[in-house]
Chains A and B, each alone.
Chain A
């Protein structure tokens, strides 16, 4: 992770005098690195040196095919071909076959002109505005961003478009906040512009905290300049001369690439005094968050930047009138800002042509869980849920059966198969009880227990409650206690009724968005999967077999050969039986660890 890409490039160029015609581009986002991209990088370095092949080794961000990491693009005169799931062992063959012999290895190709693969659809069926450069350019080289037309939109507005008009372009585009609530971005800018204040701020909210959401990280890692350009345009439009990026400290690579991007933008005169030699001055500071989920809430975020405890405060006043250090402040999410330059360059009308009546443009989803192809999916608003999960992501892993999808992270809701045909836009998602949120999409199959899933998300939110207001601090805790009781079969008669009342009260009475949405997973699972709760409570059973205390392990008489393997693995001596005779599990001793089932050579043990 700490390796210096620049240095390696320079070392590589030292071998030959003429520019190599071939390029090997490795996806070095956090996801690629986690999958072993640095090992692949080193392997290529060695191999190229060994074979004396002149090829430029380059990095790029994440393209979104998480299930195919490590991804390696090989660019030769024949075109660009991407290999997926590359390991260091595959490197030698790629070099010899593709680079030296000019014979691409078809079995390993993920994407490539003229090659139809199982992954072609994953990208082909997407509509990429925000992710336009991710996985395409080297995020640490500003020239590559410029080559894609980067900072042209900024130049255009600075030279030709008065701030009010920029705002009206954004208003016409219909862009809405991608951070969750979907507030119209143009109106937010307008409020901030109109607010009285000698100083104004623009803040980029990069405190992406939802479990399973990573689109902002990918944008920051893969295309940081698009965010900076968006902030510059926003700053110009609202009359700010200073911007903050509030980014999670848990995103070290994003922070590093932002720092590089900021310093490059300063060098080029895009940041600092008299941007592009115009009267507009603007600079950006990075503030690293300290790991509190609630700091994604805008007033808590402001408090955190100011060096205070990250706790939300009541609105109004909204940050647009009294934000950072009491000054008018516009807070936009990463994805929102990454749309801005595209809208300016391509026109509001083109953006507004994408999407539904009230939700314009595209939205990125981080699809994870039990899908075949997990990764980042950017689709026009209004795309059907089914298209994302089945069309683009290839359906359920191991050909399992779809059960639910949790949309919008811990504040979102769980939607059942019956709702797979709803379209994804702010209004229809809200109508289901879920929310757009930041765009996390966790897909569950039949092996997921919905009560346990709700418990998982609630455990997260109650841990992350700042503790300020009573409903969130204590209400989520009490809800969690009830859910835990249900998953353990220790239900009290009135628990379900109380749980629902509690969930509604927490929603109504909480101070900030965290508490107001925390009950969503509970309320939606109650609404769409109420029968699972019933089974847990009345039958003391978990059909998904997740809630261990509600599961029993049984040995099937017809399959058991009496081999004794289960006896050897049982840590509590709960299994008995004579050799070559059917064995039995003593339920009173069984701790439900599942080791017997895992080790039974005859699949004779099952969970019921």
Chain B
């Protein structure tokens, strides 16, 4: 905390931290100095000259946005001289402005209009002119009307800070204009479509196309809620008019939203949404009433329970639902159906390996985004942060801009890899060797907390022993990285003062997780030192709510906590351990006969889709509750319409283990998911009677709290023998394929495919990324059609040549629905989740355009 100095602003004495700008000091004193180019989170440029003030003993007028305060400084913000200058500047700006405020969407929210009004400028001394630029609305989201632009440069600066850094000024003098490289369209310029520029534009030059002429600022109802895409859980505010969402933004324009958050909400109003329950009659799904659907479902489930026991029924819920819905779902299965067969997409995306990880390190190890921003060293393992969890990407970029050294371990050269100090590119599937090598280098170089490792941790001797036999040369041979590079990385990480490790929880292998835990233990970094990046909005919440077969709510193993819930729920609870999602599919048609699935289009999400579809088709009874008629829903006997998060109230838990509130922004004709579950339970004779989400939330709160401080971790080193992960390529399937995230797609596929956002994805997301080397070796060109085959199946795709890929590695977006026809359902015996996202494939020319 910097020292306080005393400054006098307009005769008001105020104590402010030394070194703040005058405009900030004034704001602390409750004085709002007019400004246009200044923005709190951006570097000041002093360009607009609206914030000029007089400072005693200083010649001329001073730009208050950039002049720092000094002790004893005397500032006047409203003298005649200041007012004249301010008025002059606003008049000049208006002289180059079309002045069509009558039909401008920013009317009432425009900062230029505000100051013109405050200064009482009725008519400018100059004639008003329209610069005559063509309006760019060649993309689906952002309209750029530079006739309204006042060249404050906020968009340029925020694009550099948070976006793709594609904006700058071009030309000079009167012809100065904000532009993209070579004045190309936003898409061609590599725009991230984060829309940060929209949030900071003080006038109507940048506007959401969706809101044009549909609602002015004062007509919009703002509802602050939480984004429902990735695990960052960014706060956002939906602006609605008459029950329709017109735009998403942040309350504070300096807060970040990615393209999905800002623009990916239009699926909510898609005409293809399910609004009526469906029942399969004579092989076809037919509309029916809620009562009919639920009664029928209850009847079928009760029948199965009676005839084959509760263990013949299973449940699966997508981690895009709220805490309340997930909690109720697992309670329904455990207390009402009487089975522990309840699982969620957490199983497919890093859990429960991540639970063990947290238990080893203790609850405090999880870093917040602030920790990431303030870190001095970052180690990113298999985390394409800018694409998969963009808010994390912004935090990483901010840390790097502040001077942090970053190390990236990833066979794919991600956007962040291009910015970092050290990019370690292991051969495909050899991350474990690299991580083990890092551990070894830390040990060898003495860059670890020996006392802590020896006295506070278990198994240190075993770890050391295991690493003794580990040869750094082996890493070079296996992973293709020289020992010196690893040593350099170890030194960088080992000497960091506030280092944070980040990894993509859905990408790292369970073994890598253990190696990372070892790394953190060895260096005694157990406070805000690691951020497992989570792909879905409520993965963490799903785990807290007990949507993993082995765990009850509150992150407790079923065996140790059952009695508490027996009492709380007033029901007898099953003893038999639950089956994981993968096990349920495996046993579908044999011991599993009925399933209830909410959200998370399982057919699209489960590896080896052919087998998954076969498994689900072989069930006696399948009920699916979703927002669209997904591939999974098409297989169901009963389909129930689901609710989207913007239509729901409730809570989620983000990757930082922070609880975020979800608020209903628009009404839906569909009833709440929790209500559907509650009604079903009633029909099954086990009444779960709630009046609202709040009541469920209250019940949850009584049982456990979030974030649960796991307390001290077990601090146990785990001996791991590094292995090559993924399916080994052979002569028939010589290449490796990894699935991952893209900026404009999203894992579940189903929401984005009903959003305009999908139009920004090349080839509609149905492509296979090929390295330039492989492409030229195989004679493939951008856009060529190919067949990609694995041991499970084959699909057609377009070729996208990607510089980020190394030779031998192919990439497919995780929202490419058919990708799972290729992927492997090989299960990791410990976590019972899919072993790896890396599979062996072949690629051949051909296929329909």
Which residues, 475 to 515 on A, are CB-close (under 8 Å) to B?
Answer: 475-478, 498, 501-502, 505, 508-511
Q: Tell me whether A37 is interfacial, beta carbon within 8 Å.
A: no
Q: Are B126 and A508 in contact (CB under 8 A)?
A: no
Which residues, 574 to 599 on A, are CB-close (under 8 Å) to B?
Answer: none
**How would residues 819 to 841 of chain B score, 1 for a CB under 8 Å from any chain A CB and 0 otherwise?**
00000000000000000000000
Chain A residues contacting B60 (CB-CB under 8 Å) are: 508
Closest to A476 in B: B173
Closest to A461 in B: B173
In the complex the two chains form, what is the Cα distance from A294 to B173 in whole Å?
11
**How would residues 45 to 67 of chain B score, 1 for a CB under 8 Å from any chain A CB and 0 otherwise?**
11111101000000011010011
Chain A residues contacting B175 (CB-CB under 8 Å) are: 467
Chain A residues contacting B48 (CB-CB under 8 Å) are: 469-470
**How would residues 279 to 306 of chain A score, 1 for a CB under 8 Å from any chain B CB and 0 otherwise?**
0000000000000101000000000000
Contact partner of B172 (CB less than 8 A), chosen from A316, A464, A501, A502, is A464
Q: Are A309 and B66 in contact (CB under 8 A)?
A: no
Q: Tell me whether B133 is interfacial, beta carbon within 8 Å.
A: no
Contact partner of A470 (CB less than 8 A), chosen from B66, B92, B172, is B92
Q: Given A475-B92, A509-B52, do A467 and B46 touch, yes or no (CB 8 Å)? A: no
Q: Tell me whether A276 is interfacial, beta carbon within 8 Å.
A: no
Which one, B81-89, B218-226, B723-731, is touching chain A?
Answer: B81-89
**How would residues 438 to 476 of chain A score, 1 for a CB under 8 Å from any chain B CB and 0 otherwise?**
000000000000000000000000111111111101111
In the complex the two chains form, what is the Cα distance from A471 to B36 in whole Å?
14
B818 smallest CB distance to A (angstroms)? 45
In the complex the two chains form, what is the Cα distance from A477 to B67 in whole Å?
28
Q: Are A468 and B174 in contact (CB under 8 A)?
A: no
Chain A residues contacting B66 (CB-CB under 8 Å) are: 314
Q: Are A477 and B173 in contact (CB under 8 A)?
A: yes
Closest to B43 in A: A313
Q: Tell me whether A311 is interfacial, beta carbon within 8 Å.
A: yes
Which residues, 155 to 183 on B, are CB-close (under 8 Å) to A?
Answer: 168-169, 171-176
Which residues, 128 to 153 on B, are CB-close (under 8 Å) to A?
Answer: 150-151, 153
Q: For chain B, what secondary structure do more than half of its interface residues adopt (helix, strand, loop), or is it mixed?
A: loop
Q: Tell me whether B95 is interfacial, beta carbon within 8 Å.
A: yes
Closest to B177 in A: A467
Q: Are B47 and A511 in contact (CB under 8 A)?
A: yes
In the complex the two chains form, what is the Cα distance from A463 to B172 in whole Å?
7
Q: Given A314-B44, A470-B93, A471-B88, do A462 and B49 touch, yes or no (CB 8 Å)? A: no
Chain A residues contacting B168 (CB-CB under 8 Å) are: 309
Q: Tell me whether B685 is interfacial, beta carbon within 8 Å.
A: no
In the complex the two chains form, what is the Cα distance from A251 to B95 in whole Å?
38
Chain A residues contacting B174 (CB-CB under 8 Å) are: 462, 465, 467, 473-474, 477
Chain B residues contacting A313 (CB-CB under 8 Å) are: 45-46
Chain B residues contacting A316 (CB-CB under 8 Å) are: 67-68
Closest to A501 in B: B88
Contact partner of A467 (CB less than 8 A), chosen from B84, B92, B95, B172, is B172
In the complex the two chains form, what is the Cα distance from A316 to B58 in whole Å?
13
Q: Are B173 and A314 in contact (CB under 8 A)?
A: no
Contact partner of A474 (CB less than 8 A), chosen from B63, B67, B81, B96, is B96
Q: Are A470 and B173 in contact (CB under 8 A)?
A: no
Q: Are A508 and B61 in contact (CB under 8 A)?
A: yes
Which residues, 4 to 62 on A, are CB-close (under 8 Å) to B?
Answer: none
Q: Tell me whether B125 is interfacial, beta carbon within 8 Å.
A: yes
In the complex the two chains form, what is the Cα distance from A464 to B174 in whole Å?
9
Q: Are B89 and A466 in contact (CB under 8 A)?
A: no
B64 smallest CB distance to A (angstroms)? 11
A313 smallest CB distance to B (angstroms)? 7
Q: Are B176 and A466 in contact (CB under 8 A)?
A: yes
Chain B residues contacting A309 (CB-CB under 8 Å) are: 168-169
Q: Are A509 and B126 in contact (CB under 8 A)?
A: no
Q: Are A474 and B45 in contact (CB under 8 A)?
A: no
In the complex the two chains form, what is the Cα distance from A462 to B169 in whole Å?
17
Contact partner of B47 (CB less than 8 A), chosen from A468, A475, A502, A505, is A468
Which residues, 304 to 323 on A, are CB-close (under 8 Å) to B?
Answer: 309, 311, 313-314, 316
Chain B residues contacting A294 (CB-CB under 8 Å) are: 172
Q: Are B172 and A508 in contact (CB under 8 A)?
A: no
Closest to B94 in A: A474
Closest to B50 in A: A470
**How would residues 86 to 117 of chain B score, 1 for a CB under 8 Å from any chain A CB and 0 otherwise?**
00110011011000000000000000000000
Chain A residues contacting B85 (CB-CB under 8 Å) are: 505, 508-509
In the complex the two chains form, what is the Cα distance from A505 to B169 in whole Å?
25
In the complex the two chains form, what is the Cα distance from A316 to B66 in whole Å?
9
Chain B residues contacting A509 (CB-CB under 8 Å) are: 49, 52, 61, 85, 88-89
Contact partner of B46 (CB less than 8 A), chosen from A314, A464, A475, A498, is A314
B53 smallest CB distance to A (angstroms)? 12
Q: Are B46 and A511 in contact (CB under 8 A)?
A: yes
Q: Given A314-B44, A469-B48, A511-B46, do A474 and B95 touch, yes or no (CB 8 Å)? A: yes
Closest to B46 in A: A314
Q: Are A469 and B173 in contact (CB under 8 A)?
A: no
Closest to B156 in A: A309
Q: Given A313-B45, A467-B171, A498-B125, do A505 and B84 touch, yes or no (CB 8 Å)? A: yes
Closest to B124 in A: A478
Q: Are A469 and B49 in contact (CB under 8 A)?
A: yes
In the complex the two chains form, what is the Cα distance from A473 to B175 in whole Å?
9
Q: Given A467-B173, A467-B176, do A314 and B63 touch, yes or no (CB 8 Å)? A: yes
Chain B residues contacting A462 (CB-CB under 8 Å) are: 173-174
Closest to B125 in A: A498
Q: Given A498-B125, A511-B63, do A469 and B47 touch, yes or no (CB 8 Å)? A: yes
Contact partner of B49 (CB less than 8 A), chosen from A292, A466, A471, is A471
Chain A residues contacting B92 (CB-CB under 8 Å) are: 470-471, 474-475, 478
A328 smallest CB distance to B (angstroms)? 18
Chain B residues contacting A477 (CB-CB under 8 Å) are: 173-174
In the complex the two chains form, what is the Cα distance from A230 to B46 in whole Å?
34
In the complex the two chains form, what is the Cα distance from A498 to B124 in whole Å?
12
Chain A residues contacting B46 (CB-CB under 8 Å) are: 313-314, 469, 511
Which residues, 87 to 133 on A, are CB-close (under 8 Å) to B?
Answer: none
In the complex the two chains form, what is the Cα distance from A74 to B93 in whole Å?
62
B146 smallest CB distance to A (angstroms)? 13
In the complex the two chains form, what is the Cα distance from A292 to B63 in whole Å?
25
**How would residues 726 to 758 of chain B score, 1 for a CB under 8 Å from any chain A CB and 0 otherwise?**
000000000000000000000000000000000
Q: Are B45 and A466 in contact (CB under 8 A)?
A: no
Chain B residues contacting A505 (CB-CB under 8 Å) are: 84-85, 88
Chain B residues contacting A292 (CB-CB under 8 Å) are: 172
Chain A residues contacting B61 (CB-CB under 8 Å) are: 508-509
- Per CB-CB distance, the 7 closest pairs between chain A and chain B, nearest first, are A467-B176, A474-B92, A314-B46, A465-B173, A505-B88, A314-B66, A509-B85
19 intermolecular pairs with C-beta atoms under 8 Å apart: A309-B169, A316-B68, A463-B172, A463-B173, A464-B172, A467-B169, A467-B172, A467-B176, A468-B176, A469-B49, A470-B92, A470-B151, A473-B173, A474-B93, A474-B96, A505-B88, A508-B60, A509-B49, A511-B63
Q: A467-B171, A510-B49 are in contact. List 20 more A-B contacts (CB 8 A).
A: A309-B168, A314-B44, A462-B174, A467-B173, A468-B45, A468-B151, A468-B176, A469-B48, A470-B93, A470-B150, A474-B96, A475-B92, A476-B173, A477-B173, A505-B88, A508-B81, A509-B61, A511-B46, A511-B49, A511-B63
